[in-house]
Structure 1
Amino acid sequence: MPSQDDLHSPSAGEMSPYPPLDPRRAVGVRERLGLTPGQVAWAVSAFQGHPFHPDTLLAWEQGTEVPTGHQIKALAAALWCSPGELLGEPATLLQCRTLLGLTVEQAAVGVGMTRDRYAEAERRNRWRGSGRQTQALFEVLRPPPACFVTACGRTGQLRVLLREAVTGWWPNYVGPVAKIAPVEPAEIHRALEQLHREYQRIDNHGRTGSAAETVEREALAFLDRIDEQLWQRLRVPAA
């Protein structure tokens, strides 16, 4: 289990050791147990040793407030689950390691690096390992594709390819995207086809004035979030 130090609330500019709470998961776990917000709040109060109001829990579940790491631990204890069952997808190497309950030393040994070199990669969230070390990274930390692409500093390159794919002949980009994102080409094929189709629905043909400007803003917003759009579609299993 992570130590108490792993669960503190990070200061400004410091990476959080945990992904943010996923409100849907938190609600789902509570409802599966048949517990009311008041019952969970009582259990959180007992764990923390001081009062905890049900309204705060509801704010977490609605996404209007964000719990600290220690509060996430208290909520997980109240719901009889691991913190990872309540959280979103890890976005950094640090978050991957924390969710697995590994120490820096264990992660470094697992990927075949010195402690200092691995700790620096985690601190900067920049991965520069060899091919063998990268394969070990997947086996030890199991980073999600989005996390790995970010850690390798390839997000900008990926965005360029995705923008060209949705505005052009997308099948030509399955291979190049697969070289960046550690995802099966068949899954990338499916996601790119969806993205291209959705972008093409944003049609500016024959529009003028404010209507044309609205469509243009919609298209730009789609392209600005193109990498997020990809990850969202890759998380949804094929029908």
Structure 2
Amino acid sequence: MPSHDGLHRPPEGDPSVYPPLDPRRAAALREQLGLTHGQVAWAISAFLAEPLHPVTLLAWEQAAEVPTGRQIKALAAALWCSPAELLGEPATLVQCRTLLGVTVEHVAAEVGMTRDRYADAERRNRWRGSARQTQALLGTLSPPPACFVAACGRTGQLRVLLREAVTGWWPNYVHPVTKIVPVAQTEVQRALEQLHLTYQRIDNHGEAGADAEAVEQEALAFLDRIEEHLWDRLRDQGA
């Protein structure tokens, strides 16, 4: 529910409304401050008014356990940073909104939908807005490309296009991919060219006398994660 100040207050015990904790960021911030697991766990315990064992903090940093929203806030306080500095990339519409700290009503008004219709889109993580509403959503929530494509239910279609692009004539796929992925066409073009070259280097290993089966397995593994490779390239480009 929204609070008196209009900001969204997500359920404190529900980690799904938050982007995932980035274990490397959490560990790096703690190390930069020169703090031990015990010292940070003590500060978290004081914030929560309940004990937290250093082993639990270690489990967070090793991605073996997932902290609740309340625990993320306590960890941020212990490390003198904002919760956003500890979190990874949002994967759903609700995580995008939670990270911004705005209400369902605010986003619904911005995109020109009824509250119930937008809330249903968040609940299902399925976006079916018009072109104008989609542009408004992108401007309001700024979802990462992977999050937006998943919410539109087009990850499978994108995967097919990317596989065809890296194994064939990639320039033919710049426009179709750009219609799915909400980044500049120049960024898509650069990423597709890099992915194509990477795949061709793998595929050409066989011509150099490498074990054919090993080359085939490496190529298949690359294709199996093709959309993840695209997101990595776009992140590296700052898209």
TM-score, with normalisation over the residues of structure 2?
Answer: 0.89
In 2: Cα distance, 1:68 partner to 1:211 partner: 47
Q: In structure 1, what is the equivalent of residue 138 of structure 2? A: 138
TM-superposed deviation, 1:93: 0.4
| DSSP 3-state at the match of 1:137 | helix
CA contact (8 A) 1:178 1:184 kept: yes
Higher alpha-carbon deviation: 56-65 or 97-106: 56-65
TM-superposed deviation, 1:78: 1.5
Per-residue CA deviations over 1:179-210 (Å, capped at 9, x if unaligned) read 110111121122111111111122363699x9
1:37 and 2:37 aligned? yes
| DSSP 3-state at the match of 2:102 | coil
| DSSP 3-state at the match of 2:88 | coil
In 1: Cα distance, 2:207 partner to 2:82 partner: 54
In 2: Cα distance, 1:37 partner to 1:193 partner: 44
Q: Which amino acid aligns with 1:218?
A: E
Higher alpha-carbon deviation: 153-162 or 24-33: 24-33
| DSSP 3-state at the match of 1:153 | coil
Q: Which amino acid aligns with 1:158?
A: L
Equivalences, count: 231
5 Å-filtered alignment, 1:1-239, equals 2-3=8-9, 5-9=10-14, 16-203=16-203, 205=206, 211-237=211-237
CA contact (8 A) 2:206 2:215 kept: no
TM-score, with normalisation over the residues of structure 1?
Answer: 0.89
Q: In structure 1, what is the equivalent of residue 4 of structure 2? A: none
CA contact (8 A) 2:93 2:143 kept: yes
In 1: Cα distance, 2:8 partner to 2:60 partner: 22
Q: Compute the RMSD of aligned alpha carbons.
A: 2.1
In 1: Cα distance, 2:211 partner to 2:8 partner: 53
TM-superposed deviation, 1:2: 4.6
Unaligned stretches of 5+ residues in structure 2:
1-6
Q: Which amino acid aligns with 2:111?
A: V
Distance 1:212 1:2, change over 3 A: same
In 2: Cα distance, 1:215 partner to 1:205 partner: 6
Unaligned stretches of 5+ residues in structure 1:
11-15
Q: Which amino acid aligns with 1:193?
A: E
Q: Which amino acid aligns with 2:114?
A: T
In 2: Cα distance, 1:6 partner to 1:99 partner: 13
CA contact (8 A) 1:7 1:73 kept: no
CA contact (8 A) 1:6 1:98 kept: no
In 2: Cα distance, 1:207 partner to 1:35 partner: 50
The sequence identity of aligned pairs, in percent, is 73
Per-residue CA deviations over 1:133-182 (Å, capped at 9, x if unaligned) read 11111121111111111111111111111001100111221121111101
Per-residue CA deviations over 1:32-51 (Å, capped at 9, x if unaligned) read 33433222111101011122
